[in-house]
Structure 1
Amino acid sequence: MQIGTILERPLGPVFASAPPEEVALSTRVRLARNVRDLPFQARLNEEAARRLIDRVEAALAAPPPAEPALALFALDALPPLARQVLVEKHLISRELAEAPAAAVLLSADERVSLMVGEEDHFRLQVFAPGLRLQEAYRIADRLDDWLDAHFELAFDDRFGYQTSCPTNVGTGLRASVMLHLPGLVLTRQIGNLLPAIQKVGLAVRGVYGEGSDAEGHLFQVSNQITLGPSEEEILENLQGVVETIIAHEGKARKLLAESMGRALEDRVMRSLGILRYARSIDGREAMERLSDVRLGIALGLIRDVDLRTVDALWVMIRPAYLQYSARENLSPERRDVRRADVIRRHLGGAL
């Protein structure tokens, strides 16, 4: 597997081959794990960090059975732009991209990403299209067993898995679902919903997690509590809340269509027209316009564009991806021009 293939395609095969969903775009299950005989990552020197990567590479000689094959990529061997593309695709975190000695293990279908050397020694991520928490967790659990077979993981009988941050102690499980919620935003219901979600132990963040904005009406909903409830209880709670949010979003979209009528159609088609004809567009506006188009597709107002095209464009218009695909560093102004070019080509606009 070549890293260039992963960097060049906006969507991995696990997403590109699956039928797109209107509200729940993707699921991620992440497990935080540490090796017992090493200091936590914050106190781990670079030499020891590199030895850990060597140990992981050696473990690949006995790969996990019945799971996607994993390939290891040392991040210091990749140029900064390539690392940022991996961040934009959620395959690694910003912290891992900046670490002096770090690596990532990836499956060819981009379903699995095992980060080595982030806040914890291991951050195991499994992705799935739509709302598929149990499916993603089953794979993560089997890969966790593989890690446990090769490394003595830091575990306490009382507190569970020991992690660098106390908020991850216990199961070490963070599960999240990426949701497209334009209906709740445009009907101004999102402000009432968010506090209710937080009261049941969940967090709502933007497209790149903590500290990021909800660009394009994209929200991540994830568990906050890792100590106390079992993995199954965490997943069941998140599943139930997400299903409720999806139902509310459906009602909000119906309300929008009934109350706005022609005004909603005008908004959607104006956004499509701007995207098809603009010669320069910044990232924030492009995300908002693409959100309108995605909503229009879901409501049957746009019939010549599919949801997967919009999902791919959300990656393709990101700063690092734009520059990597252009094979050069671009100024913000030139990025805006290239972004408009890319969008026009994929939405059938005027070239």
Structure 2
Amino acid sequence: MKKWYDVSGPESESVISSCVHLSRNMRGIPFPAGLTASEKAAVVKRTCRAVFSKNSSIARDFHFIDMASMSLGEAIALAERGVVSADFIENRCGCGLLVSEDEAECILVNGDDHFLIQVRLPGLALKESYALADRLDTILDKSLNFAFDKRLGYLTCNPALLGTGMIVSLNLHLPALAETGAAARISSNLQPLGISFYSALSPSAERHGAIFRLSNRMTLGLSENEAITNLCGIA
């Protein structure tokens, strides 16, 4: 099977990829930073039971990777493909990864939060990415009982993610923008709208790569669909 990044998506001339992140935690269990090694192992075991149970509708969609058993080179390769973050591989003891064959859908276990549901698709496909992430969210919540407060929304280790616990982003290829140097002005104009716009590369490589990231900054006070609509409207 081809990886998601080997396939061309809608508006691929300027939109490289769409990504949805959902941060989730189990009710009544401390965040991963406060867990012992055995407690982290229990979270991983419970997650695998939820995904791979006999009655699970997603059991055949994922395979499990024990991050601690991977070599550093293998872990770095995952980070280079965008499957995991650099922080996740640096502190990978007690961490697990469930990933689909095309690497479009991932569930990171015991990172900053108990779970990070991640979906990446090529091109402009935020609605499709969210549909896949929401499906995983719904299925896992039935077994894992995600922590949710009626006033604050989903409870996360980072207060900035309270509410939907969702970050949606687009990776954009904008060479003309890089040449004119207008990125800083656009970023400043978008901040009051709760939108972040920044170079996805180092400052020294910005003009050569011309890869920019557009993402939501607000997770409290608006729905998932509103956040996606706002971002798509700007893109």
TM-score by length of 2: 0.91
CA distance in 2: counterparts of 1:67 and 1:179, whole angstroms: 33
Say yes or no: does 1:26 pair with 2:21: no
- CA shift for structure 1 position 220: 1.2
Q: Please point out which of 204, 213, 218 is paired with 1:225.
A: 218
8 Å contact kept, 1:49–1:117: yes
- CA shift for structure 1 position 57: 1.4
CA distance in 2: counterparts of 1:206 and 1:187, whole angstroms: 14
Match of 2:77 in 1: 85
What pairs with 1:127-142 in structure 2 (closer than 5 Å)? 127-142=120-135
Larger Rg: 1
Of stretches 192-201 and 109-118 in structure 1, the one that deviates more from structure 2 is 192-201
2:132 counterpart SS class: helix
Match of 1:193 in 2: 186
- CA shift for structure 1 position 22: 1.4
1:122-167 deviation line (CA, Å, top 9, x unaligned): 0000011101110000010010011101111111011110000000
8 Å contact kept, 2:20–2:167: yes
Match of 2:145 in 1: 152
Match of 2:7 in 1: 17
CA distance in 2: counterparts of 1:118 and 1:91, whole angstroms: 13
8 Å contact kept, 1:27–1:127: yes
1:218-275 deviation line (CA, Å, top 9, x unaligned): 1111101001001111111111111xxxxxxxxxxxxxxxxxxxxxxxxxxxxxxxxx
Alpha-carbon RMSD: 1.9
Q: Please point out which of 108, 112, 119 is paired with 2:112.
A: 119
CA distance in 1: counterparts of 2:181 and 2:7, whole angstroms: 34
TM-score by length of 1: 0.62
User: Larger relative contact order (C-alpha < 8 A, sep ≥ 6)?
Assistant: 2
Of stretches 158-167 and 87-96 in structure 1, the one that deviates more from structure 2 is 87-96
CA distance in 2: counterparts of 1:191 and 1:28, whole angstroms: 23
CA distance in 2: counterparts of 1:134 and 1:67, whole angstroms: 24
1:113 corresponds to which letter in structure 2? C
CA distance in 2: counterparts of 1:182 and 1:117, whole angstroms: 37
Unmatched 5+ residue regions in structure 1? 6-11, 243-351
- CA shift for structure 1 position 19: 4.9
- CA shift for structure 1 position 67: 8.8
CA distance in 1: counterparts of 2:59 and 2:110, whole angstroms: 22
Of stretches 93-102 and 73-82 in structure 1, the one that deviates more from structure 2 is 93-102
Unmatched 5+ residue regions in structure 2? none
CA distance in 2: counterparts of 1:169 and 1:16, whole angstroms: 34
Match of 1:74 in 2: 66
8 Å contact kept, 1:69–1:108: yes
1:279-323 deviation line (CA, Å, top 9, x unaligned): xxxxxxxxxxxxxxxxxxxxxxxxxxxxxxxxxxxxxxxxxxxxx
1:13 corresponds to which letter in structure 2? K
CA distance in 2: counterparts of 1:42 and 1:27, whole angstroms: 29
CA distance in 1: counterparts of 2:24 and 2:182, whole angstroms: 38
8 Å contact kept, 1:64–1:143: no
2:52 counterpart SS class: coil
2:47 corresponds to which letter in structure 1? V
Say yes or no: does 1:161 pair with 2:154: yes
CA distance in 2: counterparts of 1:17 and 1:68, whole angstroms: 22
2:23 corresponds to which letter in structure 1? A
Q: Which structure is higher in strand share? A: 2
8 Å contact kept, 1:37–1:152: no
2:8 counterpart SS class: coil
- CA shift for structure 1 position 68: 6.8
- CA shift for structure 1 position 191: 2.8
CA distance in 2: counterparts of 1:114 and 1:125, whole angstroms: 6
CA distance in 2: counterparts of 1:198 and 1:131, whole angstroms: 22
CA distance in 2: counterparts of 1:138 and 1:230, whole angstroms: 14
Give the aligned length. 229
Match of 1:293 in 2: none
Report percent identity of matched pairs: 34
CA distance in 2: counterparts of 1:44 and 1:186, whole angstroms: 48
CA distance in 2: counterparts of 1:128 and 1:90, whole angstroms: 12
